[in-house]
Amino acid sequence: MTEPELHTLPARRGRAVRLKKGESIRIINTHGQQVVDTWAFNADDLREFMSMEHLRASLERIFPHAGDMLVTNRRRPILAFVEDSSPGIHDTLMAACDSYRYGLLGCTTYHDNCTDNLHGGMGLIGLTPPGCPSPLNLWMNIPVVEGGRTQWGEPVSKPGDYVVLRAEIDSVVAMSACPQDILPINGAACSPTEAHYQVLR
Ligand SMILES: [Zn+2]
């Protein structure tokens, strides 16, 4: 079997791919410290999408693991979380970064952000998302500590770590290589990098 084509998710940018039911995507943390915000939409009705608040209710956990089924805002499976070579630290709590977020962090000029990357990535395949659902933040490390407080951790993944997600319905999967370079969520260097992905047909 030939190796599936390796696609680049450029640093600070978004991409989206269509998956038929049963097809999978392997998302690769090429350099090891990059958070990839990930969304999934029902290809036939973009108003149905993978939903973190519904997922947490379904899992009765705040962190999904390999083997879990990821559900939509209509509470049915959209992606199966099939494989994870990393230590399994991903975030479901934090909204995608956006221009307002960077404004609060002191930016006075435009800063790349995951919300615009969702629109940009889906725009490249001719789609407009119905807003920006809360993403599954792959490799984002948000420790929840005493009192329910959260912290901005650094990824604990290593170069080449990957996850495999399998479409349970015809889906559109969108990804953003998070351009956060003020907080250390993309590693202590605060230097966002590219990632890669493969579609497994
Ligand atoms: Zn982001």
Per-residue model confidence as pLDDT tens digits over 97-143: 999 999 999 999 999 999 999 999 999 999 999 999 999 999 999 99
Residue 36 CA to ligand 1 center (angstroms) comes to 8
The pTM of this model reads 0.96
Residue 111 CA to ligand 1 center (angstroms) comes to 10
Residue 200 CA to ligand 1 center (angstroms) comes to 26
Helix (H) or strand (E) holding 118: helix 114-123
Residue 94 CA to ligand 1 center (angstroms) comes to 9
Residue 59: partners with Cβ closer than 8 Å, 6 or more residues away: 68
Residue 35 CA to ligand 1 center (angstroms) comes to 8
What percent of the chain has pLDDT above 70?
A: 100
Residue 78 CA to ligand 1 center (angstroms) comes to 22
Residue 180 CA to ligand 1 center (angstroms) comes to 5
Residue 49 CA to ligand 1 center (angstroms) comes to 19
What are the C-alpha distances in Å from 100 to residues 20, 109, 110, 137, 150? 35, 11, 10, 19, 20
At residue 22, the pLDDT reads 98
At residue 2, the pLDDT reads 80
Residue 108 CA to ligand 1 center (angstroms) comes to 17
The residue among 177, 173, 180 whose CA lies nearest residue 8 is: 177
Q: Is 114 exposed, middle or buried (0-12, 13-18, 19+ CB in 10 A)?
A: buried
Could you please report the per-residue DSSP string of 45-63? EEEEEB-HHHHHHHHTSSS
Residue 1 has pLDDT above 70, yes or no: no
pLDDT digits (tens, 9 = 90+) for 55-67: 999 999 999 999 9
pLDDT digits (tens, 9 = 90+) for 143-163: 999 999 999 999 999 999 999
Residue 113 CA to ligand 1 center (angstroms) comes to 5
Residue 9 CA to ligand 1 center (angstroms) comes to 14
